[in-house]
Structure 1
Amino acid sequence: MITTPLTPDLVHGAVEIEPTPAGLVPHRLPARARAQVTDAQLAMAEAQPAGVRVALRTAATYVELVTVPTKRVYVGMPARPDGVYELVVNGEVTDRGSVRGGTTLTIDLAAGTYEETRGEPGSVRFDGLSPTVKDLEIWLPHDEAAVLVELRSDAPVEPAPDRGRRRWVHHGSSISQGSNAATPTGTWPAVAARAAGVELVNLGFGGSALLDPFTARAVRDTAADLVSLKVGINLVNLDLMRRRALGPAVHGFLDTIREGHPDVPLLVVTPLHCAIHEQTPGPAAIDPEAFAQGRTSFRATGSPEDVTSGRLSLEVVRAELAAVVAARAGSDPHLHLLDGLELYGAEDERTHPLPDALHPDAATHGLVGGRFHDLVFGGAGPFKR
């Protein structure tokens, strides 16, 4: 057995790699951004390595990844399944597994509390690989944080070579992070990225696509050939701002990104269809009847009449985002708009309903990812070659 320490050159898709006594922690926000917010939800989301993978080249017939995962336990809810690690060999998904044990994060949604209990490392092993030299990727769970400890194998490993692929940086909400997707390569951005042959940096943060200035700076400072932003749903379901603030906030977010990426294709994606918030402002809340039955479902607590006083619905957000992109079109020929209803609309809800009224299921992630690929990377799309 050969033991290889995890080093940053083996980890792709993270914005920053934090060395700790326990191992490497992949982050999807840099330390400067993390220092500017105390929100536990964002801290949890950015540490969950959506789109992050260990990428290597080796002739090994097995590889074993040792990590310290963080399991989430929600008070009063059924146990969550373990996070999924996926093995990709020369571009094809060939195996899946999980790491047992680790740290436990107990979350009480009613009380708004988080309690962490430290745990020990575990491992996931992939056997039966060809003894020929090959490119391997181990995609980390999109919804379970992990400290990366070491790699074990029966042959030496080296970092995967640069294949010259374009780098796509995408920012969005929990839907972009992959909420309710079954596997890390099954999140809609991963589906689109793999189909297009691009390197994904997924900056989707559950509950936290909120036009935060530090997120704009993180996108600005991350190397990118393509950038997309899917914003709106969190602004509504947190009831974060009013219509008067939205346009200037979006302009400022785009201005910051353009400081670092003045000419790259930049795509603004409006929200997917979500019936509870189409005409009704937030905040969103857990449905108490569903919660009493051990299910998670959401409802809007605002009123459609609140829109007249400036509160946001998804219909309002789509109109405001379209207005911002139109206003900038003359000075920014590389800025584009995609209506999220083309990815998932009201008709789709009939055949692919949102299980919790807010997030798509695994099959719908595949549907959205395929449509995004066709509309954006294919044909006359803004990210076409």
Structure 2
Amino acid sequence: MHTEDNWITTPVTAELVRGALDVERTEHGVLPHRLPARARAQCADPQLAMAEVQPSGVRLAFRTRATALELDALPTKRSYVGAPPRPDGVYDLLVDGRPAGQASILGGNTVTVDMSAGTTDHVPGPPGTLRFTGLPDGAKDVEIWLPHNEATELIALRTDAPVEPARDLGRRVWLHHGSSISHGSDAASPTRIWPALAAALGGVELINLGLAGSALLDPFTARALRDTPADLISVKIGINLVNTDLMRLRAFGPAVHGFLDAIRDGHPTTPLLVVSPVLCPMHEDTPGPTAPDLGGLGEGRLRFVAMGDPAERASGKLSLGVIRDELERIVAQRAAEDPHLHYLDGRDLYGEADAAELPLPDGLHPDAATHHHIGERFAELVFGDKGAFAEQGDA
């Protein structure tokens, strides 16, 4: 039986953090980042800053005999003016790889976004404490997956038995980059985002560089992928380029080549999978930009609409159909000299039949059930016997 008198406080250090590329010391504790400091210094976009500091796929991982633990943390939560309140972020506890509890921290900092006015308001708040008790006795591997949608400063870890860094289980490391869907969008919890589900089914360690609104072929992201040790790499490209109306077809092809060239500079023979966008009906033939439906916001619903015109494709504007065709062409061209490069049509993960059964609630992002579906499908197609990431060589 534990009491507060015999808690052991273990400093939260980079040794205990998995899935982050950088750990920043703050006045409260440590703040995991999913892009290195040099990359962050090269872009002042607030969307990127918000996305990379949300610890999707990041977890504390350690070995202990503890039957009870506490974690002090300071979350930063988001809310949108006129939209329904967002649920508090969820922390998932895994013991020896199996779900063993969930909890949330109330309070914390709050960032309120007014999409109509284009403004944000930051209100500081207090940290909170998670407590998990009744863990099985004996030595075990423990993971606390941080909320995929809340920036989280880690302040203190307390247990009723000593803690040591997690063992290396010899699993392959999968490094993935993508958009808000890969980041987690509206998944139920951090271990239920589709990349985490696919990683669990594939028996690999996940490093998730899914960056909401920020999968934009940025060179600093390519260099982060280049410099991160990994056994498997996938890049999901397309939807954010349409959302932001960032570039035309003339720029897109060379930018993809440059992005892949940078990755190959650090990983010349690593299995590398290029994934095109999943189905998004409003942007299949209609270019961006994407905008919130302000009328829907007035009714308390958050939906998105396509603002482009299909005719604009003739002048080089990008739709998802245009992007898929170009990605398939580029991968086929490069694969002639790169046998470790692979292509997956995103509609094999979520296509027309899936959309009929599991429509995108806001027109852009999948819900929890769809994350589960995409994760299972990816594991089957990519980690399966004939997939690009099959255990016995490349398909």
TM bucket, shorter chain? over 0.9
Task: State the identity as a percent.
Answer: 62
2:25 is equivalent to residue 19 of structure 1: yes
2:186 is equivalent to residue 180 of structure 1: yes
2:212 is equivalent to residue 232 of structure 1: no
Pairing of 1:36-115 with structure 2 (within 5 A): 36-115=42-121
1:166 aligned residue: 172
Pairing of 1:109-128 with structure 2 (within 5 A): 109-128=115-134
1:29 aligned residue: 35
> Shift of the alpha carbon at 1:75?
1.7
2:146 aligned residue: 140
> Shift of the alpha carbon at 1:167?
0.6
For 1:114 and 1:262, the matched residues in 2 are separated by: 42
In the alignment, structure 2 segments of 5+ residues that lack a partner are: 1-6
For 1:379 and 1:166, the matched residues in 2 are separated by: 16
2:16 is aligned, of 10, 35, 58, to 10
1:207 is aligned, of 198, 210, 213, to 213
> Shift of the alpha carbon at 1:77?
2.0
Equivalent residue of 1:149, what SS? strand
Pairing of 1:249-268 with structure 2 (within 5 A): 249-268=255-274
Equivalent residue of 2:216, what SS? coil
For 2:346 and 2:263, the matched residues in 1 are separated by: 21
> Shift of the alpha carbon at 1:102?
1.1
Name the amino acid aligned to 1:99: I
Equivalent residue of 1:353, what SS? coil
Equivalent residue of 1:307, what SS? helix
2:376 aligned residue: 370
> Shift of the alpha carbon at 1:193?
0.3
2:190 is equivalent to residue 192 of structure 1: no
Cα deviation code 1:301-353 (max 9, x no counterpart): 11111111110000000000011101111211100000101000011111000
1:340 aligned residue: 346
Name the amino acid aligned to 1:122: G
Pairing of 1:280-295 with structure 2 (within 5 A): 280-295=286-301
Equivalent residue of 1:211, what SS? coil
2:3 aligned residue: none
2:222 is equivalent to residue 216 of structure 1: yes
For 1:110 and 1:43, the matched residues in 2 are separated by: 20
For 1:76 and 1:343, the matched residues in 2 are separated by: 32
For 2:242 and 2:353, the matched residues in 1 are separated by: 22
> Shift of the alpha carbon at 1:288?
2.2
2:4 aligned residue: none
For 1:310 and 1:267, the matched residues in 2 are separated by: 26
For 1:87 and 1:139, the matched residues in 2 are separated by: 6
> Shift of the alpha carbon at 1:192?
0.2
For 1:260 and 1:102, the matched residues in 2 are separated by: 39
Cα deviation code 1:94-144 (max 9, x no counterpart): 210001111111211112222222222111111111121110000000001
Equivalent residue of 1:341, what SS? helix
Name the amino acid aligned to 2:99: V
For 1:154 and 1:227, the matched residues in 2 are separated by: 38
2:361 is equivalent to residue 355 of structure 1: yes
> Shift of the alpha carbon at 1:355?
0.3
Equivalent residue of 2:135, what SS? coil
1:269 aligned residue: 275
Equivalent residue of 1:137, what SS? strand
Equivalent residue of 2:240, what SS? helix
What is the aligned-residue RMSD (CA, Å)? 0.8
Equivalent residues of 2:277, 2:345 under 8 A apart: yes
Equivalent residue of 1:272, what SS? coil
TM-score using structure 2 length: 0.96
Equivalent residues of 2:116, 2:294 under 8 A apart: no
Cα deviation code 1:218-273 (max 9, x no counterpart): 10011111000001000111111111111100000000000111110000000000
For 2:350 and 2:55, the matched residues in 1 are separated by: 25
Equivalent residue of 2:257, what SS? helix
Count of aligned pairs:
385
Cα deviation code 1:54-98 (max 9, x no counterpart): 001111111111100001121222221100000001111121000
Equivalent residues of 2:174, 2:233 under 8 A apart: yes
1:380 aligned residue: 386
For 1:24 and 1:164, the matched residues in 2 are separated by: 27
For 1:104 and 1:236, the matched residues in 2 are separated by: 29
In the alignment, structure 1 segments of 5+ residues that lack a partner are: none
Name the amino acid aligned to 1:325: V
For 2:332 and 2:370, the matched residues in 1 are separated by: 30
For 2:254 and 2:367, the matched residues in 1 are separated by: 33
For 1:68 and 1:127, the matched residues in 2 are separated by: 21
Name the amino acid aligned to 2:374: V
